Amino acid sequence: MKKSVLIVGGYGVVGRQIAEILGDQQYDLEIFIGGRHPEKAKDLFENDSRIHAIKIDNLSKDPLKEVKRDLTLIINAVNDPEHYLLRSAVEKRIPIIDITSWTEHMKDSIHMLNKMKLHSPVVLSSGWMGGVAALFSKLTTASFKDVHLVNINILHSIKDKAGPNSIEYMDRLSVPFEITENRLQRQVYPLTDPVHVKFPNSFSTKCYRIDTPDHFTLPKTLNADSVNVRIAFNHKFSTYSLRFLVATGIWKLISGKSFKSLRKSVLYNPGEGDTHQIVIEAKGMGHDNFEKGIIVTISDPLGQTHLTALGAVIQAEKVLQEKEKPLSAKIYFPEELEEGSIDSSFVNQFFTKNGVHITVV
């Protein structure tokens, strides 16, 4: 039977790229683009007969109610605020990949899923850039016996493309979050505890704490003692200005629904596209009982939305290629990808083929 994938939010900035990349990866795949305005998808994909637009309203209690055909996989690329789409997919026994949740929302998803009977895999791939940072953290530490520290440092270009959902992480800048440090949990605030980082383009700057689901998943999946995720803008004035608003309490004063448009005007000013860069530093104990450290740099010239789409597609590959050994009906995080048939050589080849520059030091 022909495989079919539904991309909810598929005519958005990220969803559109997921459809294009996935279509290039699997030529016999039928792709459905779902959203509240399917006419937008018809205009975007009118030259590709494999891609069809259907109406999906993820604000309705059963978003998949009107879907009259079997689906091999659902990729959610738009916010699912009440978990309606996730619940509907689970109830209909359809594998689903979600790349949209901030940490607390993902924890709520897990709480809900733990009360349900799962009949198909659920991939919660909302770590930084569709789980790319977490996936490479796992590959980086594969040769470690013990993982002592993982630092993920991000350089965000103010000229990069961005979809409106991309500010959900950034819109929680006055909310403390939990990190794991020396195997103990403690709360920290966003945009604190700076560290100096040099990125692949030789740009050096201070990076500050940011809340991402990687803080929650990596201590579990890597058994890591400490995990930190930090971010900076490639325009230092932008970093310092935002940090000033947060540190002085001004950002907290403009929190809430009444000031949402104001916060959006500060955070959401997408450009035409620019390079997105990540530096992952891992330290631990090798199997020879000597301390070791590895630094991996990831640079995507096509920007954060392209890297997020690649993260979603490689997770989709994991689900779609499992024939002889199907994935278990359970919750997966993106860094658990290599437990299936897709190995590290495939991961590196996939990202390199799609224009991502990866270095290991």
Q: How confident is the model at residue 11 (pLDDT cuts 50, 70, 90)?
A: confident
Which ranges of 92-188 does DSSP label H, i.e. alpha helix?
103-113, 128-140, 167-170
Distance, CA of 340 to CA of 153 (rounded, Å): 28
Residue 163 — pLDDT band, cuts 50, 70, 90? Answer: low
Instruction: Kindly report, residue by residue over 239-259, the tens digit of the pLDDT.
Output: 888 899 889 999 888 877 777
Average model confidence (pLDDT) across the chain: 90
Q: CA 47 to CA 325: how far, in whole Å? A: 35
Confidence label for 342 from pLDDT (cuts 50, 70 and 90): low
Stretch 181-191: mean pLDDT, rounded? 96
What sign does the dihedral 285-332-218-167 (CA atoms) show?
positive
Distance CA 44, CA 32 (A): 13
Q: Is 255 exposed, middle or buried (0-12, 13-18, 19+ CB in 10 A)?
A: middle
CB atoms within 10 A of CB 3: 15
Q: How many CB atoms lie within 10 A of CB 253?
A: 11
Taking only the tens place, the pLDDT of each residue in 315-327 is 999 888 765 567 8
Amino acid at 259: F
Maximal C-alpha separation, the chain: 59
DSSP 104-123: HHHHHHHHHHTTS--SS-EE
**Where is average pLDDT lowest: 64-68, 189-193, 261-265?**
261-265
Q: Report the share of the chain in percent with pLDDT over 70.
A: 94
Q: Which residues pair with 357 in a beta bridge?
A: 299
User: Does position 19 have pLDDT exceeding 80, yes or no?
Assistant: yes
In the structure, what pLDDT confidence band is assigned to residue 296 with cuts at 50, 70 and 90?
A: very high
DSSP string, 181-205: ETTEEEEE-TT-S-EEEE-TTS-EE
> Percentage of the chain with pLDDT > 90?
66
| pLDDT tops 60 at residue 341 | no
| pLDDT of 82 above 60 | yes
Q: Which domains does the chain have, with CATH numbers?
A: 4-128+305-356 (3.40.50.720), 132-303 (3.30.360.10)
